[in-house]
Amino acid sequence: MPPLLEAVALLPRAYRDTARAMSRENVELAYKANDAFNRRDLDAFLALADPDIEWFPVIVELEGGRPYRGHDGVRRWWEEWLAIAPDFGGEVKEVRNLGDVTVARVRLRGHGVASGASMEQTIWQFAEWRQRKCVRFRAFASEAEALEAAGLSE
């Protein structure tokens, strides 16, 4: 048996069960956050975010900008983005459970309010969870980038 598996096997069963339940809970939280966004329920969305969250949406990633920080930053992003694309939303295709981290494949869709141009893109959402709150969120254009952020590779 590999050393890591031996070490995990030696952990008390209650600890392993608690860790497994918490990581499954993080998957549920990732779905809830996406659902709150699609319903435009900012209060429910912020309830899932740590007050000091670091928020890196895909547009920031593409433009090389700085993350939004805290609830005020997320609120600012929310208002700015929905003013540009009010029907913007995402369909969660899968969420991977990586312990304190989830990686989700999400299909985004929406239309620009000024141009009417449609946008459609698959992104990968990296979220780090602590005590039922998202403390760090980054959106990536590729699965490989999201897995790398999680400390893994394809």
> What is the spatial distance between Cα 7 and Cα 5, in angstroms, rounded to a whole number?
5
pLDDT digits (tens, 9 = 90+) for 37-77: 999 999 999 999 999 999 998 777 666 788 999 999 999 99
Task: Say which residue, 7 or 80, is predicted with more confidence.
Answer: 80
Residues 85-141: tens digit of each pLDDT: 999 999 999 999 999 999 999 999 999 999 999 999 999 999 999 999 999 999 999
Evaluate whether 90 touches 39 at the Cβ level (below 8 Å). Answer: no
Q: For residues 116 and 6, give the distance between their C-alpha atoms in angstroms, rounded to a whole number.
A: 57
Assigned architecture for domain 3-149: Roll (3.10)
Q: Give residue limits of the domains in the chain.
A: 3-149
